[in-house]
Structure 1
Amino acid sequence: MSEPSLPSPPPPASGRVWFYGAVGLLALCLAFGGWGLWQVLASGGQAPGAQQFQAQKKQIEQLEQRAATLSRSDQISRDANRDLQTALAERDEEIAGLRADVAFYERFVGATGQRRGLTVHELKLQPQTEQAWHFTATLTQNLNRGAVNAGRLLVSIEGTRAGKLQRLAWSDLRQQADAPGLPYSFKYFQQVEGDLVLPADFQPVRVTARLVPQNGAAVEQSFTWAAAAGREGTGASGLK
């Protein structure tokens, strides 16, 4: 006859404590995970840190856009100010020139002005290309007040070509045989303008303006090329 079995001894107390602790820790982790999931769902699918990052990123983009706008506005203001300063300088130069012209005309036509007959007061040359030049001749007279002076203006140029002296006549400069002179008609003063073409290997030295009036003798006025081209003080070199 077999002996009756004895009941198993109960687990130690320390094992039960560990088991209950593990179960409690697992429950705590599940609760914390559920809270985090609820926070994500409540914030529209983004964690609070990600939402803050997006907000800061948007703010940075707005600040960069504002900085770019201010920089562009500042550049526009600088350009406008520079253009304004240039325009003011040009106006000041223009006003100074007009005042000089008015002073000259007042002295010229005034009662105390020196009486002079028909003459070329000034001749200016401006380059158009390497060989082409534009000239402006200022013609004056105040000897016969109120009388009309009419005639034609012709220009000739002296210089060197291939080491030799050469004189280019009006027809050479206009590249037209028997080219007529430029007409003029005035009482006190007039500016006559025209164009000249020089040979490529020609070195100009002196330019001469010849006035052929309808009545009276012709008048010639010579200028150095450097003076007429503005490379030194302008002025006539002599009356022939």
Structure 2
Amino acid sequence: MSDPRKPADEYVVIRHRPGYRLRRSLILLAFTVIAAVAGYAAGLAQGGFRFSSAEASAEQLVEEVENLREQYREARQGLVNLERGRAIDEQALREARNTIVGLETRISELEADLTFYRNIMAPSETSKGLQVDSFTLSPARESGAFDFKMVLTQVGNNKSYISGLVAVNVIGRLDGEKEVIALRDLSDEIDDLGVKFRFRYFQDVEGSLRLPESFEPYEIQVVAQAEGRKASQAERTFDWKDLTEN
């Protein structure tokens, strides 16, 4: 006969939450990545790449790419574990996928930056000196207006600064006739035919432009002219459709 004074066995009910630990880990990982990207952006805002050596910038990018790749592999493994489980936590799955997309995008951006710096420091024999590296366009809020950014580089021999002028022309048709319009006639920010530049590794030139009514653009021509001991010229033409469709 049992002792009436002996307490009955007690049971504690613990709520089972599938994927909770993984979701918490992924959230921490996402905050880590955001903090790393914020630090990287802050470095850029302070002119880290513009005024430090390209070699140090390239080494920093290599290290950050490797760190992100390791985080990417961990996130991928977490996603596989979730998908193989019997009870998949949908919220954790969405967070894992979003984290992976963000990591893939960041890795792609850093690899593009790393390629850019490597090309400056170790160019091919046919691409040395002053170069028109790129020109990009993005539509502005107002109709017919665009924001632009062009990048000039000094490839290979970048121990000293290079300076000069860069001119931009928009080529197209106006009322059925071929028309070449200088950038200064399309932008309120530029007064001269050429924009002055002076840099050691690279320089960005940014601004906005507005096309005349009825003007149909089809090309942008960029001509950079270096002066002094490093006198040289670099010219490149960009297809308008390619610039606006990307």
TM-score norm. by structure 2 comes to: 0.53
2:237 equivalent to 1:225: no
Which secondary structure does the structure 2 equivalent of 1:155 belong to?
strand
Q: Decide which structure has the larger Cα Rg and report it.
A: 1
- The 8 Å contact of residues 151 and 204 in structure 2, kept in 1 or not, is answered as yes
Read off the aligned partner of 1:173 and give its amino acid letter.
L
2:203 equivalent to 1:190: yes
1: CA distance between counterparts of 2:204 and 2:197?
Answer: 8
Correspondent of 2:176 among 144, 163, 168: 163
The change in CA–CA distance for 1:142 and 1:79 in structure 2 (over 3 A counts) is same
Correspondent of 1:127 among 123, 139, 157: 139
Q: C-alpha deviations, 1:41-70, integer Å up to 9, x for none?
A: xxxxxxxxxxxxxxxxxxxxxxxxxxxxxx
TM-score norm. by structure 1 comes to: 0.54
Q: What is the deviation of 1:124?
A: 1.1
Q: What is the deviation of 1:177?
A: 8.4
The unaligned stretches of length 5 or more in structure 1 are 1-76, 232-240
Aligned residues with identical type, % of pairs: 28
Read off the aligned partner of 1:120 and give its amino acid letter.
V
Superposition CA RMSD, Å:
2.9
The change in CA–CA distance for 1:181 and 1:166 in structure 2 (over 3 A counts) is same
Which secondary structure does the structure 2 equivalent of 1:118 belong to?
strand
2: CA distance between counterparts of 1:176 and 1:98?
Answer: 31
Q: What is the deviation of 1:182?
A: 3.4
Q: What is the deviation of 1:143?
A: 4.3
Stretch deviating more after TM superposition (81-90 or 145-154): 81-90
| Counterpart in the other structure of 1:102 | 114
- The 8 Å contact of residues 156 and 173 in structure 1, kept in 2 or not, is answered as no
| Counterpart in the other structure of 1:149 | 162
Equivalent residues in 2 for 1:207-218, closer than 5 Å: 207-215=220-228, 216-218=231-233
Q: What is the deviation of 1:187?
A: 1.7
